[in-house]
Amino acid sequence: MKKIMIIGLATGLLAISSCSTSVVPLTGRKVSTFGVNAADLEQQAAQGYSQLLSDPKTKVVSSNSTETQRVKRIGANIQAAVTQYMNANGYGEQIKNYKWEFNLIESPEVNAWCMPGGKVAVYTGILKITKDDAGLATVMGHEIAHAIAQHSVERASDMLKAQLLGTAVGTATSGKSESTQAIVNQLYGVGAQGLYVLPNSRKQELEADKMGLSFMAMAGYNPQNAIGFWQRMAAASEGSQKPPVFLSTHPTDESRIAQIQRDLPEAMKYYKGK
C-alpha cells in the first residue's frame, strides 16, 4: 500500500507541476514537457559553447579557412530558410532569442550537433563522409532540426520525470531487504531506458531526419542527396560494434534510409533548386 501511495503521489506531482505543450514544426507532433525552461537551456548552451570555443588548452576551432567558411555559408543559408519558415507559419516566437553560430571543430570524430539556441558545431571528421555541400547540408539540417523541435527540452523533461519516479520507487522499497531493492532498481533502470527514454530518442532522430530534409530543401539543397550521405555513413560504420537496436538511441541504418525515402516527396515540395 505504501508503495502504491508514493508512486501515485509522484504521478500526481508530475500532473500538477509546471507543464507546457507545444507543436513541432513540419511534423505537427504535440509535445508536453514538465519542469524544464527552454530559455534556461538556451542560456546554459550558449555558455558551454563559448567555453568550448575559447578554451586555450583545447584549441578546438579548425584553422582550415576554406572548410570553415563552407560550414558558415551553408549554416547561414539553412538559418535564413528556417527563420523565414518559422516566422511565416506562426512559430517565430520559438526562435526569437536564437543567436546562431556555426563553427568547424578540429577533431577526427565523425560528429556534429546543434545546441538549444542555434549553437552549431561540425567536426572535421565528418567531412570525409559529407563530401559536398548537399551532404553537409544534410547533416546541418538534421542537427538544426533537433534544436527547432526542442528535442533537448523534451529529453530533459523525460529525464526529470524518470528521476522523480525513480525516487518514488526507491523510497517505497527503502524498508525492504538489500536484495529486493537491487531487483527493483534493476528492473526500473532497464524499464526506463529500454521502454521509455531510448525509444523516445530514436523517435526524435527520425523526426530530425524528416525536418532536416525539408530545411535543406528550403535552403536550396536537393534533399535527394541525403540518401547518399546516409548510405556513406552506413558504409563507414560497417564492422563497428553497435548496441542492439532495441537499446540504441539511433535507428538502424536500413530503417533510417527507408524512412527518408518515404519522407522525400514531402521535402521535395520545398525544393526550388539554385
Compute the distance between CA of residue 265 and CA of residue 37 in angstroms, rounded to an integer. Answer: 35
Q: Torsion-angle region of residue 245: left (phi > 0), alpha (psi -120 to 50) or beta?
A: alpha
d(CA 14, CA 263): 35
User: d(Cα 243, Cα 248) in Å, to the nearest integer?
Assistant: 6
143 catalytic? Reply is: yes
Q: How far apart, in whole angstroms, are the C-alpha atoms of residue 255 and residue 234?
A: 11
> Minimal CA–CA distance to 112: which of 122, 98, 124, 100?
122
CA distances from 21 to 18, 83, 150, 163 (A): 11, 21, 12, 21
The 10 Å CB-count burial string (b at 16+, else e) for 31-47 is eebbebebeebbeebbe
Cβ burial of 242 (10 Å; 0-12, 13-18, 19+) is: exposed
User: Residue 20: beta bridge partners?
Assistant: 33
Amino acid at 51: Q
Cα–Cα distance, 11 to 17 (Å, whole number): 10
Q: Which amino acid is at 207?
A: E
Under 8 Å between Cβ of 147 and 115: yes
- The catalytic position among 101, 143, 154, 205 is 143
The neighbour count for residue 138, using CB atoms within 10 Å, is 29
How many residues comprise the chain? 274
Active-site amino acid positions: 143
